[in-house]
Amino acid sequence: MNRRNMVKYSLAMGISSGIGLPRVKAFAASDSFLDLQRGDQRFRLNIFSEQGLSIAAWLLRDKREGAWGIPDPRLLQVLLWAQRELGLIGESRTMVVSSGLRTHKTNSGIEGAAQRSYHLPDQNGLFRAVDLVGAPNRLKQYAEIFETIPGLGLGSYSGHLHIDTRGYDARWTMR
């Protein structure tokens, strides 16, 4: 991610802070750290800092192609909000991600992947989807939390939960 895109991204984060999230108007400084894991890589990152955004972009990159993109600011905020909700009920807060950005090449190699997937970057490199993995009861908890947030695509699969920030509600189950 180059500096120009990082500045655009940082501005977008400031403008959209807290929009559309139930019961949350803004995040306190102590609530701005997202615990994110992919494979054996785990980070506690401040999604409102340039360093945190860079780490999120790296962690959510297309591993097959080595391509980076810019995670949608609202997507990171939704994950942060859900993490906070899990903490309020005494659950582990770490979000385990299996997929973020996908290139067209990677996406075309995934059986059943949508041709216009929100994992794909737009013309500015912004992508709007992640897949979370975990035990079935954890995925159910995630789904119940994300269900309360307007404007999300939420897909339940065997083994993972898809979340995207498409701007309108969409729900599906594939087993």
Distance CA 127, CA 162 (A): 13
The DSSP output letter for 63 is: T
Helix (H, G, I), strand (E, B) or coil at 21: coil
User: Domain 3-15+31-174: which topology?
Assistant: Muramoyl-pentapeptide Carboxypeptidase; domain 2 (3.30.1380)
Choose among 170, 167, 155: nearest CA to 72.
167
**CA-based torsion, 172, 82, 164, 21: positive or negative:** positive
CA 154 from chain centre, in angstroms, equals: 12
What counts of helices (H) and strands (E) characterise the chain?
5, 9
- Domain ranges in the chain are 3-15+31-174
Q: Render 99-162 in DSSP notation, one character per residue.
A: E----HHHHHTSTT--TT-TTS--TTSEE-EEEEE--HHHHHHHHHHHTTSTT-EEEEETTEEE
Residue 135: CB partners within 8 Å, gap ≥ 6?
A: none
Strand 160-164's sheet: what is its strand order? 41-46, 33-38, 95-99, 129-133, 160-164, 153-157, 170-174
Per-residue pLDDT of the chain (175 residues; tens, 9 = 90+): 544 454 444 444 443 444 455 544 454 555 679 999 999 999 999 999 999 999 999 999 999 999 999 999 999 999 999 999 888 877 778 999 999 999 999 999 988 888 899 999 999 999 999 999 998 988 999 999 999 999 999 999 989 999 999 999 999 998 7
Note if the pTM is more than 0.85. Answer: no
Q: Copy the structure tokens of residue 149.
A: 């947030």
Distance CA 99, CA 14 (A): 25
